[in-house]
Amino acid sequence: MAPIEQDPGGGVRLHIKAVPGASRDQIAGVLGDRLKVRVAAPPEGGKANRAICALIAGSLGVRASAVTVVAGQTSPEKTVAVEGVTPEAARAALGVRL
C-alpha cells in the first residue's frame, strides 16, 4: 500500500497516520506506508477528523467538502478520499516521494 493512491471513483485516497493533540497542524511526511498528519485538535467528537480534512484541503487547494474520512473514523490509521486531484498533484503538493 502506498500513502497516496488513485481512487477508483476519481480523485485520490490518502492513507493517514493521525496524531491528534499536537502542538500545531502539519503534514509531517511519510511514516511507513502512511502519511503522518499532526493536528492540534483533540480526538473527541470528530474534531481531529475535521482538522485533518481542513489541513489536507488547504494543502491540496481543494474545498473542505472535497475531503472525507472514509475509513478509520475512530482510529489513528485513517483513509481519506479527496475529490478533484490526481495522485501526481497530491504527491507534489504534500511532498511525498516514492
* Structural domains of the chain ordered from first start: 4-94 (3.30.1200.10)
State if pTM tops 0.85. yes
Grid cell 492513507 is found at: 15
78 residue type, one letter: K
pLDDT digits (tens, 9 = 90+) for 76-89: 999 999 999 999 99
Closest by CA to 65, choosing from 73, 74, 54, 55, is: 54
Q: How far apart are CA 21 and CA 15, in angstroms?
A: 19
How do residues 1-60 score in pLDDT, each as one tens digit? 789 999 988 899 999 999 999 999 999 999 999 999 999 999 999 999 999 999 999 999
CB atoms within 10 A of CB 54: 15
- Size of the chain in residues: 98
